[in-house]
Structure 1
Amino acid sequence: MTLDSLLAAGAPPVCAILRGLRPEEAVEIGTALIDAGIRIIEVPLNSPEPFESITALQQAFGTTALIGGGTVLSVEAVDDLRRTGGRIMVTPNTDPAVIARGAQYGFDMLPGFMTPSEGFAAVRAGARRLKLFPAASVGPTYIKAIKEVLPRHVGLWAVGGTGAETIGQWLGAGCEGIGVGGALYRAGDTAATVADRAKALVEAWRALR
């Protein structure tokens, strides 16, 4: 299971960011997302017991979805993430050592960047995709500009202020996909609430095709 294979199979280019998720609700929230069609799920490591949640999600959905961790800030955290069986690693920055360790393990990676210098540093360290964060602070026009200088093979994902209302703008500007946090899940949300939001997001994406 890779990000390339998921996208090639027609999965929505949406990464669900479950910041604040608790292990006891992981499978229920994951089920709501999977049933809506979302196949990429990230649990940020500043959530309660994140590795337990990632392990539970991986065991439940690892054959049909790409599961992993976000806010990965150290090489040690990359090692811990590997032990969960997760396959995607998301960072808020472009720490070369963290990216290089993720590449060593064969993770799909979305390191966070804002400037061309950060983007090129991440690519040199082994990244094939980049996460523009916080995306809403610069807008879709920034994607068009920065794609002019980044290597053509590098896929860009927008994270921060993204959702059903703006997915068309980001994809239209040249993003490969988006990551969605609070517009999908906030700590304490019920699975029913997440299901409704996820369905609306997937429907918004399908309307663009």
Structure 2
Amino acid sequence: MSSPFPPPPLPPLVAILRGLPPEQAAAVGSLLYAAGFRCLEVPLNRPGALQSLRRLRDSLPADALLGAGTVLEPADVARVAEAGGQLVIAPNLNLAVVAAARAAGLLAMPGVATPSEAFTALAAGATVLKAFPGEQVTPAALKAWRTVLPQAPIYPVGGVTLDNLAAYHAAGASGVGIGSALYNPELPVAQLASRAAGWVTAWTEIRRGLDCSPGHAEGVLQ
């Protein structure tokens, strides 16, 4: 049995690296890439964020999709592009930020908390919807959203855990954003590697249970 929802336009697991020190960016990025993560986000509301983003871009393969989070002003979009970012992520829906991202050729992932905001974001050119906060957009709420937004790429962020990941996926999540449940700057490397492997394994197992087609690729996040 395959998923009833189309594949998302970006990798399904987004690693949110809040507070990533620039001097650790290459090592952290390489560890997560080796674990199977292909989308990394560095929120701008911490010092050194753009430097960390640039170091990720300089050290990771071309298929790593890099984004900046907490992009609140249109002027930030140009700085994200200059640092090598390809994805503009926000906790809110600012139509000017979405427009600036699309004008710069970047993917736009604004935060939405209601179906009305979701429709407005899509009409403005959003590539992906960030359902935020996830504690509010529960699996039950997301399932209701899907009745009117069957094709939209939706990524719950905030409150997503390994315990509720399958419920979010079953409700129609195209992917998820993972913050403190994956990374914080004080986390030992071995623990980060263990957490990363756990998330990739969990998503792969969920997908494997839904996709029994001959072309299903094991070990590849879809």
Does TM, scored on the shorter chain, surpass 0.5?
yes
Cα deviation for residue 138 of structure 1 reads: 3.4
Structure 1 residues 37-116: aligned runs within 5 Å: 37-116=36-115
Partner of 2:191: 193
Runs of 5+ consecutive residues of structure 1 not aligned to the other structure? 8-12
Please, what TM-score do these two structures have when normalized by structure 2? 0.86
Equivalent position SS for 1:79? helix
1-structure distance, mates of 2:119, 2:135: 21
Alignment match, 2:201: 203
In 1: Cα distance, 2:73 partner to 2:141 partner: 28
SS in 2 for 1:165: coil
Query: What code does the residue aligned with 2:72 have?
Result: L
CA distance in structure 1 between the aligned counterparts of 2:84 and 2:122, rounded to whole angstroms: 24
Q: Which one-letter code corresponds to 1:144 in the other structure?
A: K
- The alpha carbon displacement at 1:28 in A equals 1.1
Structure 1 counterpart SS, 2:97 = helix
Deviations 1:116-153 (A, max 9, x none): 22112211211131010111233101111112223x43
Give the paired residue count: 200
What's the CA shift for 1:115?
1.0
- Higher helix proportion: 1
**Runs of 4+ with >3 A deviation:** none
Which digits, 9 at most, give the CA deviation of each residue in 1:159-204, with x for residues without a partner?
0011322221111110100000001001322322211100011111
Deviation by residue 1:38-73 (Cα, 9 ceiling, x = unmatched): 110000001221100000001111513101100000
* 1:7-30 CA distance string (max 9 Å, x none): 5xxxxx100000111101111111
Conserved? CA contact 1:128–1:153, under 8 Å: no
Partner of 1:26: 25
Q: Which residue of 2 aligns with 1:176?
A: 174
| Unaligned residue ranges in structure 2 (runs of 5+) | 1-7, 209-222
Output the TM-score relative to the length of structure 1: 0.91
Would you say the 8 A contact 1:97–1:125 is kept in 2? no
Deviation at 1:35, TM superposition (A): 1.1
Say if 2:157 is the partner of 1:159: yes
The CA distance in 2 between the partners of 1:96 and 1:135, in whole Å, is 21
Provide the C-alpha distance between the structure 2 equivalents of 1:76 and 1:159, rounded to a whole number of angstroms. Answer: 24
